[in-house]
Structure 1
Amino acid sequence: MKAIGLYKYLPIEHMDSLVEESIEKPIPSNRDLLVKVHAISINPVDVKVRSPKEKTENTLKILGWDACGVVEAVGPDCSIFKIGDKVYYAGSITRQGSYSEYQVVDERIVGKKPLTLTDAEAAALPLTAITAWEGLFERLNIPLHHPEENRNKSILIIGGAGGVGSAAIQLAKLVGLTVISTASREESKKWVEELGSDYVINHYKPFKEQLASIGFEDVDYIFCLNNTDQHWQSMGEVIVPQGKICSIVENSEPLDLNVLKSKSVTFVWEFMFTRSMYETTDMIKQHELLTSLSQLIDAGKFRTTLKEIISPINAENLRIAHQKVETGQTIGKIVLEGF
């Protein structure tokens, strides 16, 4: 089978930063599915893992953590899926990735593809939607099934136009929150408004004054999807006393937790690979939330965040996609389709 990956961690402009090889098709074991991959999407984690570093791999390291495809074989312990099922998933960061014609993935982190989406539209969603879902409903503990509890409550989503933000805006609106997103360019402002954001502010300007100008003294929740270090002080200023902040972006400098002390604010991380990385006892929750997401999509309550399709899936096109994501200015998701 064809697979794209790396041996050396090089700048994306280098021809050997991503290379294509023919390797053996994997065999599923335990609760693994063997999936014939139809479409993949590119996330910032792809770029981060591939970024230059003093390290080499002895065998091809296949990147990629989003895919949509068809189940071709199942492991002996599988009970959820069967051969022929159309699926979508974000995989595990500790295993070989989705830049390949076939991939093995644990069925507990896989969902059935939404019926109303194309392969490319579905491939755009898993990693970012799982991150948004877990961040909102599990880390921030925002009520999912009782939207009346969210009435008159607000959330600030920092970095609303990216993949996770695009999913988080839709989910937050579905459960009745007032959504304030940050965006700096006209095209990104337009995108977050199309997704349902009630207000848009600029993440390059102080939050407090901008929130005051639209009638908010503070916000009940903050979901930080961009530069935790840069926004730390501002988040502390605008979070409501006893409010909650969740971030997905690791800090470069030590965070001063005293900023949150007087308000008794909760701060929590979200990392969607935690469950698969540690094979937690509740790993199947990712299957369950992807199933719920498919139902929302097929009911017309959630839309894909796909913005661009590149075809076919090969090393050259993946290098192009990585370069686009590296700019930090992509809106929605980039998907590659077809080998």
Structure 2
Amino acid sequence: MRRRKIEGETAYYHLMSRTVNGEALFGDREREVLRKMIWQVAEFSGVRVITYAVMKNHFHLFVEVPGEHEVSDSEIVRRYRMLYPKPTPWQPMPASVLEKHLAEGTDEGDLLRKALVRRMHDVSWLMKTLKQRFSLWFNRSRDRFGPLWSDRFKSVLVEGDRWALRTVAAYIDLNAVRAGLVEDPKDYRFCGYGEAMGGGRLAREGLAVVDRDMAGYRQTLFGSGSQVKDGKTAISREEAVRVLREEKGKLPLSVVLRCRVRYFTDGMILGSAEYIEEQAKLEPGGRKKTRKPRPMQGADWGGLSVATGLRKDLFR
């Protein structure tokens, strides 16, 4: 069946792909690597990841593709560096060479510009690249060869109505609950909601497309997750009522602290914005550097901020 695509206006797509024979091939390490690749390829493509879920034998990706596709040369180079931080056998050209061609307006630069822009803002190219990259990494890490993914990916065009967007996002973020892996979607680190609750800025910005109030989105998750489906695990009615009526979707600070434990190990400096600015003026060794305080989000932190972002390269 031919995939539906929208041109010239913002469009939303639910994308999904499954492993060969539905084999559960992905452990924590594999899911973390695929999670990182999702953000990397999406950044190059110029699409917004609303949310995602990486499971043991498949993954879901919900994206927003902008209608306007004007990309400056400086942005092309930035995205190229994101996708190819260093030369590879299949793309040996360093970003500095690309930048030089574009700046000088060479014939090769014009061809490169057209070829790179053609690959952007396209969900087919995004999924093809993501699956190929992960397959290469997976086979190499396992000393394996042969196909990893079953057939082509599935794609559903979603109306830009906020209720439709929220429904699809909740369906994706509830995957781990339905599979019986966790009882609360915030505890699944390989989905957009779990990453957002763990302090991921891009994950929070993505979910803001469907609901700017994370407490409101949590209520949607528990309201939808408590509905019984054949062969699937559901959130208990008692837990759903507690979250919806008692907590009103807001996580207690003690729970948020557990979700954000990396703030206290990766943040370098924690305190008020003024304290961070004062302490960060002089780095060890006498090197002066100004660090911008980052307000801690997701709960009432009493004005606490953290210096530097959270560590993301968990698997190198």
The normalised TM-score by structure 1 is 0.23
Q: Which has the higher contact order (CA 8 A, sep 6+)?
A: 1
More strand by share: 1
